[in-house]
Amino acid sequence: MKKITSKEIALSGIAAAFAVIAVVLSYYVSVLTLAFYALASVALMLPLLAESGRGCVLAYLASAGLSFLFVGYIHVLPYLMMFGPYTILFYYLRKHLKKPYFCIPIKVAFADLSFLAVFYATGLTLADFPIVETLPKAGQYAVIYVVLSAAFIVFDLAFERLYAMLLERFGGRLRS
């Protein structure tokens, strides 16, 4: 196993700090909660630009642990179960499965399972979604998951583009 470098540790620490700031802001600015969770997952991209999947995992673990200290565990769960692990999954799928027609179904399945885990872990009920209350119960779940999956696909495409842009702009400087 390759030794961890000081550069990798430093990038992981910076990424963890940015991710913690974003998670804490998601708690205090409730209107932009999802935007700040997404920003926290983008912050985890910093070690990935230096081709350090291990650094991304370290940043995720540090940011999740520190976020628990600053805000309640309920407010950290979406980052802990969905947005943080997505960045790690994104890197390893991009590295090992380069074909998008294999990656997209895996990512959508991950997102749906994450949505389900967050749904039950935070104690949400169907009453929290009044827009779908006229549908039968199975239809309510189906509409919620179709909308969330579509939103995730848009997020994934934006994440891919942002990663490519940042890699082109900063990747060479961070790798050397």
How confident is the model over 17-59, as pLDDT tens digits?
A: 999 999 999 999 988 888 999 999 999 999 988 888 899 999 9
Tokens 């350090």, located at residue: 52
Q: Would you say residue 131 lies in a domain? A: yes
Q: Would you say residue 1 lies in a domain? A: no
Q: Would you say residue 102 lies in a domain? A: yes
pLDDT digits (tens, 9 = 90+) for 91-128: 999 888 877 788 889 999 999 899 888 888 887 777 77
pLDDT for 95: 87
Domain with 131, as residue range(s), is 6-175
**Reported confidence tier of residue 176, pLDDT bands at 50, 70, 90:** low
pLDDT for 1: 62
Separation CA 15–CA 23 (nearest Å): 12
42 CA to centre of own chain: 8
Q: Would you say residue 56 lies in a domain? A: yes
pTM, two decimal places:
0.87
Tell me how many domains the chain contains: 1
